[in-house]
Chain A
Amino acid sequence: AQSVTQLDSHVSVSEGTPVLLRCNYSSSYSPSLFWYVQHPNKGLQLLLKYTSAATLVKGINGFEAEFKKSETSFHLTKPSAHMSDAAEYFCVVSEWSPAMRFGAGTRLTVKP
């Protein structure tokens, strides 16, 4: 069965410093992995997805994630945080479409 664990429920960074949001997954197959972002009182927006091509995936707004099979991880990073990055981020695993399992979410706070 597929599952996903977001290791931090809340991450706080200063503007201009790097962002790291951690995600571990469990799957019996080679799953697809996603990161979605939800800004306050907004819907969900896809940041990036891994679907068994390149292990380093680049997304929108300067975010990227690296798929590491040996560590079953898919951590999300950004070199320099911006105030507009403050939001909730969800890591998602999918062994087959359209069944998807979301992590509990990581709330990112960006301090000025």
Chain B
Amino acid sequence: EAQVTQNPRYLITVTGKKLTVTCSQNMNHEYMSWYRQDPGLGLRQIYYSMNVEVTDKGDVPEGYKVSRKEKRNFPLILESPSPNQTSLYFCASSFPGGRSTDTQYFGPGTRLTVL
């Protein structure tokens, strides 16, 4: 089954404790992205990747890191989480479409609480 998976689905942590949220897709997509969803703000793009070793900042990259060492995986790293990073996080993947954007497939989401 074609899908984007995220782990963990739920995470409660404390300020300053490094964490990684994994994202994996089995559709051989070149493009992958991370978003955070906050009430009243919709989804905001954190980082995106256009291929292995090619990443770029989205609209809200501060406090986050990403890496793309393999095509299928795109982990999100919070080196020193803070309470304002409490949010619902989504990973997404798609084929490249140039100016004509292809459909993004979203993972199920990771609910992160930072105390």
Contacts and interface: CB of A to CB of B under 8 A. Distances in A.
Contacts of B32: 98
B106 A44 contact: yes
A9 B102 contact: no
A49 interface: yes
A98 B42 contact: no
A102 B43 contact: yes
Contacts of B92: 98
A6 B40 CA distance: 11
A102 B100 contact: no
A90 B43 contact: yes
A112 interface: no
Interface of B: 31-33, 35, 40-45, 48, 50, 58-59, 90, 92, 94, 96-104, 106-109
A51 B101 contact: yes
A49 B45 contact: no
Main secondary structure of the interface of A (DSSP, over half): strand
Interface in A21-58: 29-30, 32, 34, 43-44, 46, 49, 51-52
Contacts of A101: 45, 59
B60 to A, nearest CB: 11
Given A43-B107, A103-B42, 14 more contacts: A30-B99, A32-B101, A43-B90, A44-B106, A49-B101, A51-B100, A52-B99, A97-B94, A97-B96, A97-B97, A97-B98, A98-B33, A98-B92, A101-B59
